Amino acid sequence: MASTTFANVISPMKLSFMFLLMSNMALFGVSDDTACVVTYPQAWIKVHPQDVDKIQFALNLEFLEAEFFLFGATGFGLDKNAPELAMGGPPPIGVRKANLDDVTERIINEFGLEEVGHLKAIIETLGGFPRPLLDLSSQNFAEVMDDAFGYKLYPPFDPYLNSINYMLASYVIPYMGLVGYVGTNPYLKGYKSKRLLAGLLGVESGQDAVIRTYLYERVDLVVHPYNQTVAKFTDRISQLRNRLAGCGIKDEGLIVPPQLGAEQRTSSNVLAANELSLSYDRSPAEILRVVYGSGKENVPGGFYPNGGNGKIAQDLLRSPK
């Protein structure tokens, strides 16, 4: 009888697989941390002075998102979760806990905590400024929806009433941060600034994609009692933002004419993008025209009754009216 050896029992294919597995285990078990760190030439600039104001501008939107999401999920905002980040800025107006189902509440709670991280990342890297006065009241959201549809909705739209209303209201917010980061990217010079912005943009894009997918799954749902579908709400909100910003189409609802869809071959529009399926960009002035609700970067209102903070927003406020 032939003797039974290890090689007889284990096939060559299995031996090869085990070798590769052990090799990978050895590779990922390397204790040298330098193998996992991205290094940059010493001559490169970490944060160029011109980068600071550009990224700090985004704090205005990050404050807005943090307060809306934290309150919506838990009933408490930055003043309880991370009061030092508010830097003495006034508490937001009218924001409160939303009546959310369990899954939606968990999504929004995660978003809120992510925004806390974003605020920390920007402030720790570049410094910051106090939270601006924010109006997150039902009345303000009702005015946004009235402007979007061109007539007063009755009863007035309440973002805190239920999950679908809240997610429609959420559709209004993170996308502005996304396009703002895309617009800022080409102007940054420091490698640490670029890495920070890339990290922020990645998560903002993810939040926007989650919100749009959530709504797309309900695209034909009629929002009670307005007799308008979720698709129509997103279309009207996007049209409003395009109109206020005044720079053409950089915003699209969930259903679009095929000529605006990916490769002009679909009316499905889970992600808003240009003709090459690249994200749109917006300048600080465009963003302020939208979030002020005035169509003018020097006329505050909307979500920012007193205007935004930081050098860029304040300089634009002082520009000739």
pLDDT per position as a tens digit, 81-133: 999 999 999 999 999 999 999 999 999 999 999 999 999 999 999 999 999 99
**Structural domain total, the chain:** 1
Asked if residue 257 is part of any domain, the answer here is no
Asked if residue 26 is part of any domain, the answer here is no
Domain that holds residue 106: 48-219+281-317
Peptide bond into 225 cis (omega under 30): yes
Residue 27 has pLDDT above 60, yes or no: no
Q: What is the pLDDT of residue 33?
A: 60
Q: Model's pTM, two decimal places?
A: 0.88
Asked if residue 275 is part of any domain, the answer here is no
CB atoms inside a 10 Å sphere around CB 140: 19
* Residue that wins the pLDDT comparison between 8 and 240: 240
Q: Which CATH number do you get for residue 288?
A: 1.20.1260.10
pLDDT tens digits along 187-202: 999 999 999 999 999 9
Q: SS3 sequence, the chain?
A: CCCCCHHHHCCHHHHHHHHHHHHHHHHHCCCCHHHHCCCCCCCCCCCCHHHHHHHHCCHHHHHHHHHHHHHHHHCCCHHHHCHHHHCCCCCCECCCCCCCCHHHHHHHHHHHHHHHHHHHHHHHHHCCCCCCCCECCHHHHHHHHHHHHCCCCCCCCCCCCCHHHHHHHHHCCHHHHHHHHHHHHHHCCCHHHHHHHHHHHHHHHHHHHHHHHHHHCCCCCEECCCCEEHHHHHHHHHHHHHHHHCCCCCCCCCECCHHHCHHHCCCECCCCCCCCCCCCCCCHHHHHHHHCCCCCCCCCECCECCCCCCHHHHHHHCCCC
Asked if residue 6 is part of any domain, the answer here is no
Q: What is the mean pLDDT of the chain?
A: 91
Residue 281 has pLDDT above 70, yes or no: yes
Q: Which residues have CB under 8 Å from 226's CB, separation 6+?
A: 153, 157
* Residue that wins the pLDDT comparison between 31 and 216: 216
How far apart CA 236 and CA 252 sit, in angstroms, is 9
Asked if residue 265 is part of any domain, the answer here is no
pLDDT tens digits along 175-189: 999 999 999 999 999
Q: What is the pLDDT of residue 29?
A: 46
Asked if residue 213 is part of any domain, the answer here is yes
Asked if residue 159 is part of any domain, the answer here is yes
As a whole number, mean pLDDT of residues 135-149 equals 98
Asked if residue 77 is part of any domain, the answer here is yes
pLDDT tens digits along 256-278: 999 999 999 999 999 999 999 99
Percent of the chain surpassing pLDDT 90: 85
